[in-house]
Amino acid sequence: MYTVFSTFDVPDEKSDEVINIYKNRSRSVDNAPGFIDFLLLQNDKRSGELTVQLIFETKEDYLNWVRSKDFKRIHDLEKKYPDQELAAVIPKVTQYKVVAK
């Protein structure tokens, strides 16, 4: 398995808005070959720190998702989000190979 974390900070007062965006996400990734799971995590002490976790069967499956038209379309929409403060958020992305379960 292969997992990717995208961690970003938003103002605490906007965390619920961002959580709702993810609750209503397009779910395009759910249909990507090799996709296993999506999680949105919220830091227990800092509500504005959110992390998206994606789990794929392989690194290649993840890279195929990142290179897909759906991925590009979704991320282009994010750049056009009306709240420019949120649209400008750049996540810290870390990628891991699962070595034990």
pLDDT band at 2 (very low <50, low <70, confident <90, very high): very high
The pLDDT of residue 62 is: 98
pLDDT in tens, 37-95: 999 999 999 999 999 999 999 999 999 999 999 999 887 777 677 777 887 888 999 99
Residue 32: its pLDDT value, please? 97
Query: Residue 69 sits in which domain range?
Result: 2-97
Q: What is the CATH number of the domain that holds 57?
A: 3.30.70.100
Q: Which residues pair with 49 in a beta bridge?
A: 9
| Count of domains observed in the chain | 1
pTM: 0.89
Spatial CB neighbours of 87, under 8 Å, sequence gap ≥ 6: 78, 79, 80, 81
Distance between CA atoms of residues 34 and 68, nearest Å: 13
